[in-house]
Amino acid sequence: MTVLITGCTPGGKAYGLSAADVAGEWHALLNQDLTVRLNEDGSFTTESWPSRLYCEMPAASKASAYLYAEGEDLSGEWTASFEGDSAIFFAFDAPPCQPSSFQTTVMRDADRLAICLNVRPGADPDSIRQDEQIMLVRNEDLDWHGPVPCGEPLGGE
């Protein structure tokens, strides 16, 4: 007798989380100086946040334009929507980024989470390519190996 067990794939949008699941320190995978701390009280702080990312227009269309740019230490408020969505909404509370706000997508790869920052404001998150996103991961996942859950793979990958 053969038994086939099927189920959901381990990756995709991270539905059903709580704010406590995402609270904590996150780092850009390709530039660990870029740090975002999500506090359980709904506030956030950043270190080395690229000052052009969501703060100035026009925005660059590639993540590489931001990853090693001069950074700012900023703060603001965040809220999450995990009922039928997998989004975190950020709003800066001080210059140079105030009154800017933006939405991110939280993705799951097996037991790991990633916050995907879309560098093209207003673009459909489901149509963004990997080179148009900055992926934030937790400290324990800085050695991320395997598929990158942020964005559609580039051609030929």
* Domain residue extents for the chain: 11-141
- pLDDT number for residue 48: 92
Residue 152 or residue 94, greater confidence: 94
Taking residues 142-148, report their average pLDDT.
Answer: 82
Give this prediction's pTM: 0.84
Residue 89 in this model has a pLDDT that exceeds 70: yes
- Taking domain 11-141, whether its CATH number is 3.10.450 is answered by no
Point out the least confidently predicted range of 10-19, 27-36, 40-49, 86-95. Answer: 10-19
What pLDDT score does 7 carry?
A: 35
Window from 53-62, 64-73, 113-122 with minimum mean pLDDT: 53-62
Write out the E strands in the chain.
11-13, 24-28, 31-38, 43-47, 49-50, 71-72, 75-81, 87-92, 101-109, 112-118, 133-138
Confirm if 52 and 121 have CB atoms less than 8 A apart. Answer: no
For the cut 90, the answer to whether the pLDDT of residue 42 exceeds it is: yes
Tokens of 25: 């320190």
